[in-house]
Structure 1
């Protein structure tokens, strides 16, 4: 485990200054026992823990389900008990044994046992949807899941690792990934359709043991959760949580000022700055392991040339300008795949916008007049701002780029099919405070064949494969001690830097929320699993 002081992803409250905005906005404070949250739910496509991806789903699902372990919001390197009250790792590091609590019940009233936990993990692998990729990277498959993940008795879950890996990383995955949530097997199978293990039903329903249960979901409109009175921990202090789908920053700002919302995310930087001046509001920033990035398709003949990748990704991005002009409250400058604060982290490489250097490289690559290309980008802030900046800086190097805005499915779908040229996107490590998490997600590519379909690995999506880079990442994972492991992970980053990988981080994501000061007990979580069971609102006088 890493020391707490090494991890920077901590929330930072910006205390509101005396109000500078003009008054005159009528207050309509929400009920004291309800929390009203405004956020974009464009990417909330499923609530199934085996299929759901992204922060939108994580924000909701962590309150409907429980995980075996949790990580502390203030120190995400520290594991703490949840459904599992204790755990042990064998001397050889190949077996994890978790002892579950005996007093947990699902929302259905059915007791939660180790059999439910084993089945839930096995189900992730058998469905082989988005959340299976991390478990497959540890060697688990649909074929070996039943053997390697099993309940030895009602409260003992045993996980045998198919091949050597760092057990600390596996435990962190159990604590941070939605794939580690425990489902009510009997309720889910009662809604199975044509062998889908309940996937279609769980897309819009839930079967968990969380502090809240799903009340209603109208996609891209409204989602409500109600308190579970029989929750195994102290019952949630709020009776109901309401998520409203809202994408217009000005609307979110007005509703916060009126008291029609308690918390809002996705506000523009000017609106956040303005709201921070109001004494009844407070701003919270949480750093995530996720990175904003620019990616090129190394399978494309142009970007297969390292000189072209170097020109585009090292010299034709205005890193500092994007960080200061586009990404305030969205991201913090970060040019390496491993976030700062870990033992393996390296200083920033200091890339700078240098169009003359880019033109020289393009000329060496036989492209003295530049070329035409396209930038795929999600049609919302801050992605469009990054893409617009990139379009201008590419032009300074002689590259004529057209912007193709689209939905998340359209943009990332093109990446999964490797049918793009340039993408402005966001992705990367999960919630695990471990260098392997980011490197696995962003740069690792063990099989670059189209038929491999490793579409949940950004390295595969970009078509960049480097056998030596893969070897360093794999060797680091099995290093015998922390110092040796950190050294190997640093070598892997240096290799990626020198050989110009096809994905270039530009900033580490900041999740910025503005909330009413009356909201108490809210602690934004670096993994996205912001649990609301301890949140309450100060009663109005």
Structure 2
């Protein structure tokens, strides 16, 4: 009983502290030294970099942790130094040697060493959570990690490449928030319990070297980032970043209009359209990272039939959905390779054909209709996108039951391969066509025990040896040949009838007060808030 009372007292004290941080409603103006951001935490299940992916989670973790190398926000295929000042690829292409910058320390004050770096990578593989897949598909395992991640000395790391691949793919993997995030080994192990590598503690704490440290994380309520005074780079402009869980778009719009928010990440298309008329608000819209998709599980008897999947695709009005539901959220794109990485922009989506769809369903034995369940997040644009798909499939006699909820409700069954349909959003792949294809198309091991939950192809139980071979071989072609081969692979995937059907490429639409400066939207969700200020 005493422990319960103590926990309640701590919670009340923390809540009172948060109220002091937030602006008063009557003031209608956020503090000059604090940035207040509205977004949804519904899919933020943990802040452990090794855990599950997700756009909102990456938006937080990016500001807490550094990588050895980073993605250039102006060109998602280019790398720039972070904790590594420089790197050299060996002549045989079998290893990369990186030199750490001098004087970098974690938020705790502990120095960043090569031991922290190699331990961070080994930890990802040892935990074998979602982010481990990014290493595993490149040949890294928990068993070979010691020989492939090597601390040469305190300031030098050698990354050995266990299977033939383009070394730049490995560097791009190291630039990803999650698998490439560098953790403070000493601090994490001080909070380890029962051999969990500190994963339980890191769900709501941080041990990074980023421009901000984590002050408070209350799931589905609030995240408070505090300037890291030990940061090796230019200090953050703001003392704090307060990220408020506001899943309702209207709440974000009203608070932004009043001045109680500086930035709104999760606005609906209708609210964004309304706010474009407000001279005190600016809308930033950029083609971003990831694809909105419809996933169809090949474990399901009906969906394993390509005629059923083709019928579903023929019932969807891609153009209509993108012109209405996906405005501000995405741009029409129906192939697995994204725009900016080799995917062609402006390819016309297929037109709906209800009669052909009904014919295909009849051939497959479903002339009298079919019942399916569809999982989708209960927030924009997933909610409206799922309803649009439900309506489209109804025209062909497919009765769809929508199951909506938070991240675990939607992606939990998908990771367990126990679902029929999911409306989801991809992301987190390396900035190269191979990354998209390995996530969406390539599946090296379709067994349940393989646990390749980071691959959408594995989640939907899609495995095609011909496509696997083509993707493996394309990686080592000359650039001109590679481009042509990737176009062939996408056509082959269409011809074989996808289990992951892309609908839109993500566009990042962010609304901000007009006096906000220094906000540069990352094309891979890794937006750094340290440069953001207020021109007041």
Matched, 1:533 2:526: no
Shift of 1:84: 0.5
Shift of 1:344: 5.8
Shifted more, 54-63 versus 30-39: the winner is 54-63
Q: Distance in 2 between matches of 1:27 and 1:170?
A: 49
After superposition, residues 303-318 of structure 1 pair within 5 angstroms as 303-313=303-313, 315-318=314-317
Matched, 1:340 2:315: no
Residue 407 (structure 1) aligns with: 406
Q: Distance in 1 between matches of 2:58 and 2:195?
A: 26
Q: Distance in 2 between matches of 1:367 and 1:457?
A: 30
Residue 455 (structure 2) aligns with: 457
Q: Distance in 2 between matches of 1:441 and 1:164?
A: 19
Q: Distance in 2 between matches of 1:299 and 1:53?
A: 23
Tell me, which stretches of 5 or more residues in structure 2 are unaligned? 1-24
Secondary structure of the residue aligned to 1:454 is coil
Matched, 1:328 2:327: yes
Residue 282 (structure 2) aligns with: 282
- Please say if residues 319 and 349 of structure 2, whose CA atoms lie closer than 8 Å, have aligned partners that are also in contact: no
Q: Distance in 2 between matches of 1:420 and 1:45?
A: 20
Residue 441 (structure 1) aligns with: 439
Shift of 1:450: 2.7
Residue 354 (structure 1) aligns with: 353
Q: Distance in 2 between matches of 1:350 and 1:328?
A: 16
* Inter-CA distance 341–66: structure 2 relative to 1 (3 Å threshold): closer
Secondary structure of the residue aligned to 1:157 is strand
Shift of 1:345: 4.2
Matched, 1:520 2:517: yes
Q: Distance in 1 between matches of 2:379 and 2:345?
A: 31
Q: Distance in 1 between matches of 2:77 and 2:383?
A: 33
Q: Distance in 1 between matches of 2:27 and 2:155?
A: 50
Shift of 1:419: 2.0
- Please say if residues 37 and 261 of structure 2, whose CA atoms lie closer than 8 Å, have aligned partners that are also in contact: yes
Secondary structure of the residue aligned to 2:55 is helix
- Please say if residues 177 and 431 of structure 1, whose CA atoms lie closer than 8 Å, have aligned partners that are also in contact: no
Secondary structure of the residue aligned to 2:337 is coil
Q: Distance in 1 between matches of 2:74 and 2:372?
A: 43
* Inter-CA distance 186–309: structure 2 relative to 1 (3 Å threshold): same
Shifted more, 507-516 versus 379-388: the winner is 379-388
Residue 14 (structure 2) aligns with: none
- Please say if residues 32 and 534 of structure 2, whose CA atoms lie closer than 8 Å, have aligned partners that are also in contact: yes
- Please say if residues 95 and 160 of structure 2, whose CA atoms lie closer than 8 Å, have aligned partners that are also in contact: yes
Shift of 1:369: 2.1
Residue 473 (structure 1) aligns with: 471
Q: Distance in 2 between matches of 1:336 and 1:106?
A: 41
Q: Distance in 2 between matches of 1:44 and 1:417?
A: 18
User: When the two structures are superposed, what TM-score results if normalisation uses the length of structure 2?
Assistant: 0.92
Residue 90 (structure 1) aligns with: 90
Q: Distance in 2 between matches of 1:41 and 1:406?
A: 12
Shift of 1:363: 2.0
Secondary structure of the residue aligned to 1:372 is strand
Residue 500 (structure 1) aligns with: 497
Shift of 1:521: 0.6
Residue 103 (structure 2) aligns with: 103
Q: Distance in 2 between matches of 1:79 and 1:458?
A: 26
| Alpha-carbon displacement from aligned partner over 1:392-413 (angstroms, at most 9, x marks no partner) | 2112112222222232212222
Matched, 1:482 2:483: no
Q: Distance in 2 between matches of 1:418 and 1:70?
A: 33
- Please say if residues 265 and 509 of structure 2, whose CA atoms lie closer than 8 Å, have aligned partners that are also in contact: yes
Residue 368 (structure 1) aligns with: 367
Shift of 1:343: 3.8
Matched, 1:179 2:179: yes
Secondary structure of the residue aligned to 1:178 is coil
After superposition, residues 18-29 of structure 1 pair within 5 angstroms as 28-29=28-29
- Please say if residues 472 and 491 of structure 1, whose CA atoms lie closer than 8 Å, have aligned partners that are also in contact: no
Shift of 1:163: 0.6
Matched, 1:47 2:52: no
User: When the two structures are superposed, what TM-score results if normalisation uses the length of structure 1?
Assistant: 0.92
- Please say if residues 66 and 83 of structure 2, whose CA atoms lie closer than 8 Å, have aligned partners that are also in contact: yes
Q: Distance in 2 between matches of 1:88 and 1:311?
A: 50
Residue 153 (structure 1) aligns with: 153
- Please say if residues 67 and 174 of structure 2, whose CA atoms lie closer than 8 Å, have aligned partners that are also in contact: yes
- Please say if residues 330 and 512 of structure 1, whose CA atoms lie closer than 8 Å, have aligned partners that are also in contact: yes
Residue 15 (structure 2) aligns with: none
Shift of 1:347: 6.2
Matched, 1:218 2:218: yes
Shift of 1:368: 2.0
Cα RMSD (Å) of the superposition?
1.6
- Please say if residues 138 and 163 of structure 1, whose CA atoms lie closer than 8 Å, have aligned partners that are also in contact: yes
Q: Distance in 1 between matches of 2:209 and 2:498?
A: 42
- Please say if residues 326 and 385 of structure 1, whose CA atoms lie closer than 8 Å, have aligned partners that are also in contact: yes
